[in-house]
Structure 1
Amino acid sequence: MNFTTAASALALSLLASTAGAQAVRTEKTMSLELANQIATATVAACATNNHNVTAAVVDRGGQLRALQRADNAGPHTIGAAQGKAYTSASARNTTGAILENVQKNPGAATLVDIPGFLVLGGGVPIRVGNDVIGAVGVGGAPGGHLDEQCANTALAQVADLLK
């Protein structure tokens, strides 16, 4: 084997090993226990303000991990909480910020047409560093901003577990 052939083979093997390393990723995910803690803390945070809500926690792919509904929360709050959690996980942003973008940006107005998206305040991504590992959605407080406050309060309570 001559030098040029050997150098070419070495370069190709290095490229292949680099490409292979990028083809498989490791992603963080939350346990069922953590999802339940977040849902429980969210419902409790809203209860301190006399808001009967449902909290849904989804994984990074928007799949339901935990759902808790306060005793007097309306039946509509289940779908609302799940929709907000799915939307937040999918867009990797709060649904309040998405709502604001839809209202101010005509180009974003069609986001409401995406199946499963619920563009109302109350969905908050769950982050570990810069990675979104899921989201919590809340439905039932008298305003999306209040739903979002409950979610943020709950996430602050489990912040040490999100490292």
Structure 2
Amino acid sequence: MQNDMDLTRARAAAEAALTAAERDGKRISIAVVDHRGQDVLVLRGDGAPWFTAGVARAKAATAALMGAASGDLAGLRAAHPELLDLIGAQTPQPMTTLAGGVPVRLGVDVVGAIGVSGADPDEDVAFARAGIAALRAIGERSAS
């Protein structure tokens, strides 16, 4: 995997997440962002509710900017209720502790994130991880 999130990689990740969701009969939206939380690709699958694209964006941006899965930040919100709101006021997308945003790492560096919305929280995470697996496969092929 290269050091940046480009459109080719974003498409592969989104298609892998969407395919995994469709196999399970789920209708989702996927957002792939770069390390700054900026959109690279946002896709709303057929039949996914209108609001899921925006929720997927928030999950992905949160994961990229915080370097942690969005759902893992619930403890931070509980310990410091105002902190995520203060951070979120400085970002283009609202911050969220909803599960489904997963950072994409190259070594220790966050190069982007994938956010999924539309299924149950654990399913959203699984579909995001399917997207990350597709990115890793691309990276392994290009390294060969």
TM-score after normalising by structure 1? 0.75
The one-letter amino acid of 1:133's match is V
Question: Quick check: 1:38 aligned with 2:13?
Answer: yes
Q: Aligned-pair distance for 1:112?
A: 4.1
Alignment of 1:16-55 (within 5 A): 28-55=3-30
Conserved? CA contact 1:53–1:140, under 8 Å: yes
Which residue does the alignment assign to 1:65?
Answer: 40
Alignment of 1:112-123 (within 5 A): 112-113=84-85, 114-115=88-89, 116-123=94-101
Conserved? CA contact 2:34–2:40, under 8 Å: yes
Residues in 2 aligned to 1:153 and 1:40: alpha-carbon distance in whole angstroms: 9
Aligned pair partner of 1:139 in 88, 113, 117:
117
Q: How many residues align?
A: 133
Which residue does the alignment assign to 2:82?
Answer: 110
Q: Aligned-pair distance for 1:47?
A: 1.3
4+ residue stretches of structure 1 with deviation over 6 A?
A: none
Residues in 2 aligned to 1:151 and 1:111: alpha-carbon distance in whole angstroms: 26
Provide the identity percentage: 32
| Structure 2 portions without partners, runs of 5+ | none
Conserved? CA contact 1:111–1:117, under 8 Å: no
Residues in 2 aligned to 1:125 and 1:112: alpha-carbon distance in whole angstroms: 17
Which residue does the alignment assign to 1:97?
Answer: 72
Which residue does the alignment assign to 1:6?
Answer: none
Which residue does the alignment assign to 1:125?
Answer: 103
Q: Aligned-pair distance for 1:157?
A: 2.7
SS at match of 1:45: helix
Aligned-pair Cα RMSD in Å: 1.7
Which residue does the alignment assign to 1:151?
Answer: 128
Conserved? CA contact 2:12–2:134, under 8 Å: no
Higher relative contact order (CA 8 A, sep 6+): 2
Conserved? CA contact 1:128–1:162, under 8 Å: no
| Structure 1 portions without partners, runs of 5+ | 1-26
Conserved? CA contact 1:96–1:145, under 8 Å: no
- The C-alpha deviation readout for 1:57-116, integer Å capped at 9, x for no partner, is 00001110011111100001011000000100010110111124434xx22x22442231
